[in-house]
Every structure is written in structure tokens, then in C-alpha cells.
Amino acid sequence: MADPVDLTNLRSMTDGDKEMEKELFKEFFSSFEIGIASLQVNMEEEAAETWRNATHSLKGIALNLGAMELGNLCKKGQDEYQANKETKNILLQAIQKEYSQVRGFLLNLVSV
């Protein structure tokens, strides 16, 4: 099974600086968790634009990290910004599940 994150691109940007990598991972966790919290409270129809903006933002962060599957799930969330609450709930659960895979992978890297 492929790793949930491909850090090749990120490492080219950081020149393999491990300390900077750790800082970036912390920033990633913080940004992503804020985004997920926003999705949790913005699933109603009247909050569709807020949902769309949040999923768009998360997509960009995930792609820049190298978490392509997570980025794709966020893109799906963005595309379905006008879906009903039940659909959004399913999408959010998928995003959360993939995020926890990504988070576990990164935490494992920094502890080695």
C-alpha cells in the first residue's frame, strides 16, 4: 500500500532541512485541524460557500504537503459544496479518516 504522503516535492522546497520539515508538519496539523473544525460546523445549506472555501483551502494545503489522496478528497468536498448535510457528513468522515492516516505517517517520521 502506498504511503499517504509523498514528501519529494516538499523536501525539494526545504532542501531536506529536517528541523524545517518538523515545523512545517506542525503548521500542517494546525491548519488542517482548523479547517476540519470549520467543516464540522458548516454543513448546512446556508453555509455552502463557507464549506466550499474551507475545502478549497484544505485541498491546497494537502497538495502542497504531497498528500494527494487527501487533496483529492478535499477537492471532492469542494466540488460537492451544494450537497445536502448527509452527503457532506460522509465526505467529511472520509477526509478525517485520510487525514488521520497522513498525520500518523508524519508523526512516525519525526519520531524516528
Partner 1 sequence: MLNASDQHIAQFNNASRERRQRKHLEILVVEDQPFSSKLMITLLGRISDAYPAFDAQTALELYLSRAPDIVFLDIEMPDTNGHELASAIRQLDSDAYIIMVTANNYPEDVSRAKHNGVIGFIAKPYSKQKILEGVEKYIQERKLKS
Cβ–Cβ contacts within 10 Å for residue 59, how many?
22
Cα angle: 89, vertex 83, 32; to 5 degrees: 50
In this structure, what DSSP letter does residue 45 have? G
> Residue 34 or residue 84: which is nearer to partner 1 going by CB?
34
Determine the interface stretch with partner 1 among 26-34, 40-48, 87-95, 98-106 (rule: CB under 8 A): 26-34
For cell 524545517, the residue is 20
Determine the interface stretch with partner 1 among 20-28, 39-47, 85-93, 96-104 (rule: CB under 8 A): 20-28
- Quote the cell numbers at residue 11: 523536501
Q: In the set 36, 47, 48, 56, which binds partner 1 (CB under 8 A)?
A: 56
Smallest gap from residue 46 Cβ to partner 1 (A): 18
CB 64 within 8 Å of CB 11:
no
Alpha helix stretches (DSSP H) within the chain: 8-14, 18-41, 48-65, 68-79, 85-111
Contact between 24 and partner 1 per CB under 8 A: yes
> Residue 37 or residue 84: which is nearer to partner 1 going by CB?
37
Binding site for partner 1 (CB under 8 A): 9-10, 12-15, 17, 20, 23-24, 27-28, 30-31, 53, 56-57, 59-61, 63-66, 71
